[in-house]
Structure formats: C-alpha cells, structure tokens
Copies of this chain bind each other. A is one copy, B any other.
Amino acid sequence: MREPAARADLLVPADRLRARLEALLSAWTRPDHAARTAEAMVEADLMGIDSHGITLVPLYADLVRDGRIAREPEIRVVHAFGAVATIDGGGGFGHAPSVEAMDLAIEKARAFGIGAVAVRGSNHYGAAGVYALRAARAGLIGLSTSAVHLPSIVPVFGREPRLGTNPIAFAAPGARGAPFLLDIATSTIAIGKLKLAARAGARLPEGWAVDTAGNPQHDPNQALADRLMTPLGGTRAMGGHKGYGLAAMVEILSTLLPGASYAPLRAADAQRYDVGHFHLAIHPEAFRPRGGFGEDLDAFLACLRETAPAAGHERVLAPGDPEHAIRATRSREGIPVPRVLADQIGAIARGWDIDFRLDDPAE
C-alpha cells in the first residue's frame, strides 16, 4: 500500500516505466515473457495496485537469484477438453502463462459461452485484477484466482498458516461506463497495512493478525515477523470462517484443479514452487442473446454510486471506481515511484548490466 504521490516520488510515464522494466526482465527471462510481465506489472501500478507492480522487482530478483524462476520456460497447453484447458507455465514468472490462459478462456467463452483455463508450474502472477480486466475489456466477464507460494492465512481457531493470501479478481464490462472490478486478497488486510502500522507505531486492531498461540496480535512489527494473517472477517464472530472458506475455495480452483503444489504439502527440497492459477471467462451474450447486459451493469453501478452516504462520508463508490480514477490520473501525470524504490531497483539492475534510469533522459 503506497501513499498518493509524495514530494519525494518520481512521476514516471507508464511507457517509460514499461520499457525500463522490460529491459530488466529480459535479463531474467525470454524477451516475449519479459514484455508480458512488464505490461502486467505496469498495468497494476497504473490502477494504484502498488503492492503488485514494480514494488515486486526486489522480490523477483531474489527468486531469480535463488533459481526459483525458470529462465527459459516453455508454456504448454498440456490438456484441452471442450471449453477448458490446463496450461503448464514451465516454471517461469506467472504473468505470461496467465495472459495466455485468460486469452484462451476468452476464445473458449466466445465458442461455448464460458471458458476456463487453469495453470500449474507457475509463480507469482502479480495483480489478479489485470487478468479479470483483460476479459472485461474484451466484452466478457472475467474471474481470476491464484494460490501463493508462501502460506500466511491461519484457519479460524488455528495458529499455523495453511493458505496464501489467495486473491480473487472479478470484472464485468459495461455498455458505456467503465467495467466493474473487484480485486481482493482473501486475508482481512494486505501485508502493506502492517508495514504502514509499524511505521506509524500503531497498535493493530483485533482481527488483523494472530500470534504464535493463535491469540490476537497487536504489535505490527511482530505481525510482520510472524506473517500469521487472519482470513477476511478476522474473528469467528465477524465471519472469519467465511474468509477462510473463500481462501480455501481459491486454493481448490488454483492449485488442486490444475494439479499444482499445495504449499504446505510441497516437497521440502523442491526447487520450484509450482504455483497454480485459475482463469474463467463468461460471455454475457450467450445468456442474453438480445443484449442488455452492459446497459444493466451501467445502471447497477450507477445505483450503487447513488446510495445515500453515511454521516461523515461524501459518497459511495462502486467496486472498481478507485482503480479507474487512479488509472486516469496516472495515465496523464505518470506513475509515482518512491526514490528509495527507484534506487533499490537501479542497484539491482546495475548488477545485471541493465540501465534502469527512471528520470526523463532529456532532463
């Protein structure tokens, strides 16, 4: 979670950021994968999903250094049957096989009304919303879910992590308005909120994280060290069993369906994480051949926005509104990149003999 552009941030045009990122990623993977990965990462940054954009470069650098990422992956459709398929990502970054998977799901949805493609042999795929939106921009409903290589969600009444922050993204196209977009982790909060609380010296509310005995964790620094997050809902009284079930549903679709590795049962000496994803596309016109879905979606979102606001609030937003607003601003003004992050990535890039200067070359 990064704050809005601060004085010390660089403001980098999306095209420049994408080009620099693609150059760096080309040192780590095939050029075609580097292009798709850079595109997906910058798309996340454009929408304000800062936790899943270029912030991840240092993590990705570690994965490459440790041999966790295949450098020359082959993406293969290993099974195809009717409206579904399974793709093997070949152990590379998760973005390229996910773009391919969603595009195949869209193609199948155009032919059969619905299409689903699951991915195994993959890795971190960035922001789930990028793939769901890809379907919505093609005029279809999109759903994308992913497992995560490191478990951090603790089941209700437990004290050990058993599920990743397992995201769900869902997008649907309007006729004239911007698409509906939901892009959430199935944990109560993102790790980034713990970092903000630690920086502010704040006490964590009950229901964000637990300690190693399974009791509420109030210390943000200890929460960051333990990474024992609650599922959405937080406590049982607030519906934590619902978030737990949703995180498990994501694991079933993303890991068990394509036959990827469920992290807690992964072989201890496995070099690759074998992460899985699930991508679904639905063609509204197959259900309503006379049309009307997009118009109904516009009216639905308008009705949500017209909800009378609670005391102290100016207005109610429809899911996706914040992302679309940030995207409009950043497309115009550039993507804010903290200087400390730019410097950190610059240093990583120099180690690979890549130029990663983000400031205007003409300046």
Contacts and interface: CB of A to CB of B under 8 A. Distances in A.
B189 A239 contact: yes
A313 B182 contact: no
A299 B261 CA distance: 12
Interface string A15-45: 0000000000000000000000000000000
B316 A248 contact: no
A171 to B, nearest CB: 10
A158 interface: yes
**A interface: dominant SS:** mixed
A296 interface: yes
Contacts of A313: 157-158, 214
A205 B284 CA distance: 40
B243 A232 contact: yes
A83 B82 contact: yes
Nearest to A293: B256
Contacts of A79: 286-289
Given A207-B238, A214-B313, A297 B160 contact: no
Sorting the interface of chain A by its residue count into under 10, 10 to 19, 20 to 34 or 35 or more gives: 35 or more
Of A85, A233, A256, chain B has the most CB atoms within 10 Å of the CB of: A256
A265 to B, nearest CB: 6
Nearest to A260: B296
Contacts of A244: 319
Given A155-B304, A160-B307, A310-B159, A205 B293 contact: no
Contacts of A111: 82
A169 to B, nearest CB: 10
A54 interface: no
Contacts of A156: 316-317
A282 interface: yes
| Copies of this chain, tallied across the complex | 2
Contacts of A303: 162, 262, 264-265
A341 to B, nearest CB: 26
A201 B243 CA distance: 28
A188 interface: yes
Interface stretch (A55-63, A113-121, A354-362): A113-121
A214 to B, nearest CB: 2
A84 interface: yes
A304 B162 contact: yes
A140 to B, nearest CB: 11
Q: Give the residue among A156, A157, A287 with the most B Cβ atoms within 10 A.
A: A287
Contacts of A170: 245, 249, 252
A283 B205 CA distance: 42
Given A114-B115, A155-B307, A162-B307, 16 more contacts: A79-B288, A83-B112, A84-B283, A85-B287, A154-B307, A214-B309, A214-B310, A214-B311, A238-B238, A252-B300, A256-B300, A257-B284, A257-B288, A259-B287, A262-B299, A264-B303
* Chain A to chain B: the 4 pairs with minimum beta-carbon distance, closest first: A214-B310, A84-B113, A82-B112, A182-B245
19 contacts: A79-B287, A81-B112, A81-B286, A83-B113, A84-B286, A113-B116, A116-B282, A157-B313, A157-B315, A157-B317, A158-B313, A159-B308, A160-B308, A172-B256, A233-B233, A251-B300, A255-B300, A262-B300, A265-B300
